[in-house]
Amino acid sequence: MPIALFSVSDKTGLVDGLARPLHELGWRILASGGTANVLREAGIPVKEVADYTGSPEILGGRVKTLHPGIHGGLLARNTPEDKADLKKIKAEMIDLIAVNLYPFQQTVARGDATLEAAVENIDIGGVTLLRAAAKNFARVTVLTTPDDYPKVVAELGSQGCTSLETRRALAWAAFKHTAQYDRAITDFLNGEVSLNLSLYPVHTLRYGENPHQSATLYGFRPDAGPLGGKVLQGKALSYNNILDLDAAWKTASSFDRPTVCIVKHLSPCGVASAETLAGAYPLALASDPASAFGGVIAVNRAFDGRVAKALGGLFVECIVAPGFTNEALAVLAKKQNLRLVAMPAADGAALHELRSVTGGVLRQSPDLGDPDGTELTVVTERHPTEEECTSLAFAWKACQHVKSNAIVFARGEATLGIGGGQPNRVDCVHIAARRAGEANVPGAVMASDAFFPFPDSVEAAAAYGIAAIIQPGGSVRDQESIEAANRHNIAMVFTGVRHFRH
What is the DSSP track for 190-227? Answer: HTS-------EEEEEES-SSSTTS-EEEEESSTT--GG
Mean local confidence (pLDDT), 143-172: 91
Q: Does 55 lie in the same domain as 87?
A: yes
Asked if the structure places residue 206 within a domain, the reply is: yes
Task: Tell me if 279 is assigned to some domain.
Answer: yes
Are 418 and 476 in a shared domain?
Answer: yes
The answer as to whether 371 is a domain residue is no
Q: Full-prediction pTM beyond 0.75? A: no
Residues 122 and 183 in one domain: yes
Share of the chain above pLDDT 70, in %: 95
- Same domain? For 83 and 166 the reply is yes
pLDDT at 462: 97
AA identity, residue 370 = D
Domain count, the chain: 3
Residue 350 lies in a domain: no
- Provide the pLDDT confidence category of residue 348 given band limits of 50, 70 and 90: low
Tell me, yes or no, whether 37 lies in a domain.
yes
Which of 91, 180, 50, 60 is closest to 127 using CA atoms? Answer: 180
* Predicted pLDDT of residue 285: 97
The answer to whether residue 346 scores a pLDDT higher than 60 is no
For residue 324, list its beta bridge partners.
303
The sign of the torsion formed by the CA atoms of 71, 76, 82, 84 equals: positive
- Do 135 and 264 sit in the same domain of this protein? no
Burial classification of residue 433, based on how many CB atoms lie within 10 Å of its CB (0-12 exposed, 13-18 middle, 19 or more buried): buried
User: What does the pLDDT look like over 367-410, one tens digit per residue?
Assistant: 999 999 899 999 999 999 999 999 999 999 999 999 999 999 99
* pLDDT digit string, tens, across residues 293-319: 999 999 999 999 999 999 998 999 999
185 plus 223 within the same structural domain = no
Residue 151 inside a domain? The answer is yes
> Which residue, among 295, 267, 242, has the nearest Cα to 421 in the 3D structure?
267
Of the candidates 378, 435, 428, the residue with the CA atom closest to the CA atom of residue 399:
428
Judgement on whether residues 74 and 215 belong to the same structural domain of the protein = no
pLDDT (tens digit, 9 = 90+) per residue, 451-494? Answer: 999 999 999 999 999 999 999 999 999 999 999 999 999 999 99
Residue 199 has pLDDT above 90, yes or no: no
Measured in degrees and rounded to the nearest 5, phi and psi for residue 143 equal: -115, 130
Q: Answer yes or no: is 153 within a domain.
A: yes
CATH number for the domain spanning 231: value is: 3.40.140.20
- How many helices (H) and strands (E) the chain has is answered by 20, 21
Residue where a domain terminates, one of 171, 190, 209: 190
Q: What is the CATH number of the domain that holds 59?
A: 3.40.50.1380
**281, 316, 342 — which closes off a domain?**
342
- pLDDT mean over 322-351: 86
Which residues are marked as active site? Answer: 135, 265
> Going by DSSP bridges, is the β-strand pair 215-219/360-364 parallel, antiparallel, or unpaired?
unpaired
- Give the Cβ contact number of residue 470 at 10 Å: 26
116 & 33 share domain:
yes
Residues 157 and 222 in one domain: no
Specify whether 486 is located in the same domain as 403. yes
Residue 382 located in a structural domain: yes
Q: Residue 456 sits in which domain range?
A: 377-494
Which of 114-123, 129-138, 307-316, 377-386 is predicted least confidently?
A: 114-123
Residues 44 and 164 in one domain: yes
Same domain, 219 and 335: yes
